[in-house]
């Protein structure tokens, strides 16, 4: 590959197009500017071995500026070499990177290792094709949340960096780092969107005052601490005008205001869930009664049922067990009777769970006869809980706990102290898979 002669001073002699060569001015580690006529040349002698010229970098899409003693990167690198795929800035004296880095939208590899670099510009998220960032042996203490937006990033090398404590575990865990940054970025984005929505909506007349800004900032901060789930925070932004107090002055007591927002949010969430479930219940009724159901009366039946079932979990239970809970004929549907049927079935399933748990307790009491009943029961409940799939006992749960009781001497270790509920369930699953596989041999 052709290189630039250090003694050459004109753009033509150095094979740098005049308009491009003039844009490159590098600084050595002593503050001296390297001549722009020869890209990595000085009037005297080379500071470091020469590298590819800008015109070559345009063709190869690779630019190596390693070991140049550079403190700054001229803007022309970012503005005139926007097609770069690889940029090597390692082993220099670079403390910070320009926001113009975001102009390298095709960049896939960025090597800035072994520099006194203290941070990355947030604009790095504009380098959407980035796959690798080498930051090892730098002064990086944190990584901007915007990095979490880079969908193709597979490796971030953070070895040898003074990371903040909460990031130390991600030194060699890029997947974990990206998930952490994605969540952090999403939360920050939702907070900004919420502030903007409240500024433009409910509090547009008061949020511009000095007091209003303070109250709104405090309120949004308290909200973000209360709503840790991202989906909840997103829905909060979408429904801010319905959920927040109309008077910003109520934010003088942020905890009280947040509690009221949470109450309204829970009510809205329940209302939306019940609305969706009503559509599911309508489909279930049509399946069960088919041509025996007057469509004009479906809404009446559902309203009657909802008058007696106000909890989301109860409606979900009804939909699952509808054939057992609803009468043979649609015209006999009565909300009060359906609820009573539901309660009876729930009692039956609760009793079924207690029965299989008690059976397991008796089996374990035989295995660990030297232990106090309270200890054995605690172990039994810890194991049984891992087999629970729903609020009430299912046929699958009942069958599995019966098998577990029958095979307790083989599945549970002889030493009580060695009994680990998770390991016992894993062994149970392993035996079940082995048994199923043997049937096909």
Domain membership flag for residue 19: no
* Alpha carbons 115 and 91: distance in angstroms, whole number: 6
Task: Report phi then psi at 64, rounded to 5.
Answer: -105, 115
Instruction: Answer yes or no: do 390 and 288 share one domain.
Output: no
pLDDT number for residue 290: 87
The total number of structural domains that make up the chain: 4
295-302: average pLDDT? 90
Domain boundary at 217, 251, 268, which? 268
Domain membership flag for residue 21: no
Domain membership flag for residue 249: yes
Specify whether the CB–CB gap between 237 and 216 falls below 8 A. no
What one-character-per-residue DSSP string does 56-116 give?
A: HHHHHSEEE-TTS--S---HHHHHH-TT-SEEE--SS------GGGGG-TT--EEE--SS-
* Alpha carbons 220 and 117: distance in angstroms, whole number: 33
Instruction: Answer yes or no: do 80 and 149 share one domain.
Output: yes
- Residue-wise pLDDT for 123-141, tens only, equals 999 999 999 999 999 999 9
> Is residue 303 classed exposed, middle or buried when 0-12, 13-18 and 19+ CB atoms within 10 A define those classes?
exposed
Return the SS3 of 432: helix
188-192: average pLDDT? 96
315-321: average pLDDT? 97
- Residue-wise pLDDT for 213-254, tens only, equals 999 999 999 999 999 999 999 999 999 999 999 999 998 999
The fraction of the chain above a pLDDT of 70, given in percent, is: 88
Domain membership flag for residue 373: yes
18-32: average pLDDT? 42
* Alpha carbons 392 and 383: distance in angstroms, whole number: 16
pLDDT number for residue 371: 95
> Is residue 357 classed exposed, middle or buried when 0-12, 13-18 and 19+ CB atoms within 10 A define those classes?
buried
Tell me how far CA of residue 124 lies from CA of 101, 111, 129, 258, in angstroms: 6, 13, 10, 35
Burial state string for 323-342 with b = 16 or more CB within 10 A and e = fewer than 16 = eebbeeebeebebeebbebb
- When comparing pLDDT for 6 and 145, which is higher? 145
Give the pLDDT band (50/70/90) at residue 208: confident
Task: Report phi then psi at 33, rounded to 5.
Answer: -85, 130
Domain membership flag for residue 183: no
Q: Considering all CA atoms of the chain, what is the largest pairwise distance in Å, rounded to the nearest integer?
A: 101
Which tokens sit at 63?
A: 């630019």
Instruction: Answer yes or no: do 392 and 310 share one domain.
Output: no
Lowest mean pLDDT among 11-15, 230-234, 262-266, 388-392: 11-15
Which tokens sit at 112?
A: 């800035």
Specify whether the CB–CB gap between 18 and 36 falls below 8 A. no
Instruction: Answer yes or no: do 158 and 254 share one domain.
Output: no
- Residue-wise pLDDT for 150-189, tens only, equals 999 999 999 999 999 999 999 989 999 999 999 999 999 9
* Alpha carbons 164 and 119: distance in angstroms, whole number: 12
pLDDT number for residue 55: 82
Nearest Cα to Cα of residue 111 among 139, 88, 142, 137: 88
What residue numbers bound the domain in which 404 lies? 344-439
Task: Answer whether residue 351 shows pLDDT above 70.
Answer: yes
Instruction: Answer yes or no: do 355 and 388 share one domain.
Output: yes
Tell me how far CA of residue 282 lies from CA of 67, 278, 295, 302, 318, in angstroms: 71, 6, 10, 7, 12
Instruction: Answer yes or no: do 100 and 159 share one domain.
Output: yes
CA 337 to chain centre: 44
pLDDT number for residue 358: 98
Instruction: Answer yes or no: do 309 and 357 share one domain.
Output: no
Specify whether the CB–CB gap between 149 and 126 falls below 8 A. no
> Is residue 306 classed exposed, middle or buried when 0-12, 13-18 and 19+ CB atoms within 10 A define those classes?
middle
pLDDT number for residue 439: 75
Give the pLDDT band (50/70/90) at residue 278: very high
Instruction: Answer yes or no: do 278 and 206 share one domain.
Output: no
Look at the chain and count its residues. 441
Task: Report phi then psi at 208, rounded to 5.
Answer: -80, -15
Contacts of 348 by beta carbon, 8 Å cutoff, 6+ apart: none
Domain membership flag for residue 143: yes
Domain membership flag for residue 4: no
- Residue-wise pLDDT for 42-86, tens only, equals 333 333 334 446 788 999 999 999 999 999 998 999 999 999 999
Helix axes 312-320, 335-367, angle to 10 degrees: 80
88-113: average pLDDT? 98
Give the pLDDT band (50/70/90) at residue 23: very low
Residue owning tokens 């927040």: 244
Q: 3-state DSSP: the chain helix, strand, coil percent, rounded to 5?
A: 55, 5, 40
Instruction: Answer yes or no: do 195 and 164 share one domain.
Output: no
259-285: average pLDDT? 96
Instruction: Answer yes or no: do 323 and 245 share one domain.
Output: no
- Residue-wise pLDDT for 250-266, tens only, equals 989 999 999 999 999 99
- Residue 371 is classified by DSSP as S
Burial state string for 179-211 with b = 16 or more CB within 10 A and e = fewer than 16 = ebbbebbbbebbbebbbebbbeebbeebbeeee
Domain boundary at 294, 310, 333, which? 333
pLDDT number for residue 4: 29
pLDDT mean across residues, the chain:
88
């Amino acid at each position: 590959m052709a290189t630039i002669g250090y003694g050459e001073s004109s753009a033509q002699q150095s094979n740098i197009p005049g308009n491009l060569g003039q844009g490159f001015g590098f600084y050595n580690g002593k503050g001296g500017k390297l001549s722009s006529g020869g890209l990595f040349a000085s009037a005297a002698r080379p500071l470091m071995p020469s590298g590819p010229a800008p015109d070559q970098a345009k063709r190869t899409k690779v630019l190596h500026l390693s070991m140049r003693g550079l403190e700054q990167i001229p803007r022309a690198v970012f503005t005139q070499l926007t097609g770069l795929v690889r940029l090597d800035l390692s082993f220099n004296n670079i403390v910070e990177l320009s926001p113009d880095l975001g102009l390298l939208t095709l960049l896939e590899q960025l090597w800035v290792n072994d520099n006194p670099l203290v941070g990355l510009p947030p604009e790095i998220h504009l380098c959407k094709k980035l796959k690798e960032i080498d930051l090892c042996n730098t002064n990086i203490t944190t990584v901007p949340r915007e990095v979490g937006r880079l969908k193709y990033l597979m490796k971030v090398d953070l070895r040898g960096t003074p990371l903040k404590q909460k990031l130390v575990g991600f030194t060699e865990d890029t997947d974990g780092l990206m998930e952490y940054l994605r969540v952090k970025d999403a939360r920050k984005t939702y907070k900004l969107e919420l502030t903007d929505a409240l500024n433009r909506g409910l509090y547009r007349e008061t949020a511009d005052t000095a007091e209003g800004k303070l109250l709104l900032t405090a309120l949004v901060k308290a909200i973000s601490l209360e709503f840790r789930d991202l989906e909840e925070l997103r829905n909060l932004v979408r429904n801010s005008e319905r959920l927040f107090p109309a008077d910003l002055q109520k934010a003088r007591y942020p905890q009280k205001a947040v509690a009221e927002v949470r109450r309204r949010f829970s009510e809205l969430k329940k209302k939306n869930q019940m609305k969706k479930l009503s559509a599911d219940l309508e489909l279930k009724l049509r399946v069960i009664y088919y041509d025996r159901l007057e469509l004009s009366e479906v809404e009446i039946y559902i309203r009657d049922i909802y008058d007696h079932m106000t909890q989301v979990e109860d409606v979900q239970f009804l939909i699952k067990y509808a054939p057992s809970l609803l009468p043979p004929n649609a015209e006999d549907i009565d909300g009060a009777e359906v609820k009573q049927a539901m309660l009876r079935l729930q009692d039956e399933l609760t009793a079924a769970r207690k029965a299989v748990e008690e059976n397991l307790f008796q089996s374990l009491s035989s295995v660990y006869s030297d232990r106090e009943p309270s200890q054995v029961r605690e172990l039994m409940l810890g194991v049984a809980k891992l087999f629970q799939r729903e609020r009430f006992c299912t046929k699958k749960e009942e069958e599995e706990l019966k098998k577990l009781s029958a095979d307790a001497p083989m599945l549970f270790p002889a030493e009580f102290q060695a009994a680990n509920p998770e390991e016992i369930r894993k062994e149970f699953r392993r035996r079940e898979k082995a048994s199923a596989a043997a049937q096909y041999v």
